[in-house]
Amino acid sequence: VLAVFQAMDAAGKDSTIRKVFSGVNPAGFRCIAFGRPSTHELAHDFLWRCQQALPKRGKIGLFNRSHYEEVLVVRVHPEILAAQHLPGIDPAAVWEQRMESIRQWEQHLARNGVVVVKFWLNVSPDEQKRRLLARIDRPDKNWKFEIADLEVRERWQDYMHAYQEALRHTARPHAPWYAIPADSKPYMRLAVARVMVETLEALDLRYPVVDEQQQAQLATGRARLMAED
């Protein structure tokens, strides 16, 4: 299972992941937080680093930000494309091309047994302002604040347009988007948890059934342990 989390700053991605998955055995899942691409990552296509981070079969993978940054942040700041060394790029077509690549990649994952669910934690401008002010005013939250968050906030409408386009063009039955209201953290966490529970229950997971040889080994093991008495 691959769960993707996207949101504006201060929407609660980190805390939601922490709260919802706090009871999950750490051996069963892995969370990857994607930041600005490294020089090594920029030497590959934009999906490469996410491909490398996919969960193994039987595991849960969490993407805190993801490949969607390439049609969100990069779309709002197209100057970032200049650092990606793309030959013959067509600025008028690049976003549709990237969303087509994302659709095809997620279809490929689904055909190979990866269950993809995507969450957009949708915080309002007023609630984001309140949370950013808390980061400024509270010493225990000062470390979270970055002045760049305000620069992103100033382009709110551009980001909302980018999100709307991304969700509209990449929501598919095999890779659905869930737009979760994020102003109430308890509600947001409950909604995410419910989707995850329903997703896992739909897999109809069962314990492995042992074959005759293994059953014989169980009987032998029991007899040997009981003989110790």
More confident residue, 83 or 196: 196
For residue 10, the number of C-alpha atoms closer than 13 Å in the C-beta half-sphere is: 26
Please choose, from the candidates 70, 62, 47, the residue with its C-alpha nearest in 3D space to the C-alpha of residue 4. Answer: 62
Distance CA 74, CA 66 (A): 12
- Give the mean pLDDT of the chain: 96
Encoded tokens for 144: 């979270």
Q: Assign 93 a pLDDT band (cuts: 50, 70, 90).
A: very high
pLDDT one-digit tens code per residue, 21-71: 999 999 999 999 999 999 999 999 999 999 999 999 999 999 999 999 999
Q: Assign 87 a pLDDT band (cuts: 50, 70, 90).
A: confident
Distance CA 163, CA 160 (A): 5
CB within 8 Å of 180: residues ≥ 6 apart: 119, 120, 121, 122, 188, 191, 192
Q: Estimate the crossing angle of helix 13-20 against helix 185-202, to 10 degrees.
A: 50
Measured in whole angstroms, the distance separating CA 95 from the mean position of its chain's CA atoms is 20
Q: What is the pLDDT of residue 64?
A: 98
State pTM to two decimals. Answer: 0.92
Strands (DSSP E) contained in 16-156 are 29-33, 60-64, 116-122
Encoded tokens for 229: 């008495």
Handedness of CA 36, 41, 46, 50 (dihedral sign): negative
pLDDT one-digit tens code per residue, 152-181: 999 999 999 999 999 999 999 999 999 999
Coil, helix or strand at residue 183: coil
List Cα–Cα distances, 207 to 31, 152, 162, 204, in angstroms. Answer: 25, 47, 43, 10
As a whole-number percent, the residues of the chain with pLDDT over 90 amount to: 93
Say which CATH architecture domain 2-227 belongs to. 3-Layer(aba) Sandwich (3.40)
Encoded tokens for 25: 């055995």
Measured in whole angstroms, the distance separating CA 49 from the mean position of its chain's CA atoms is 13
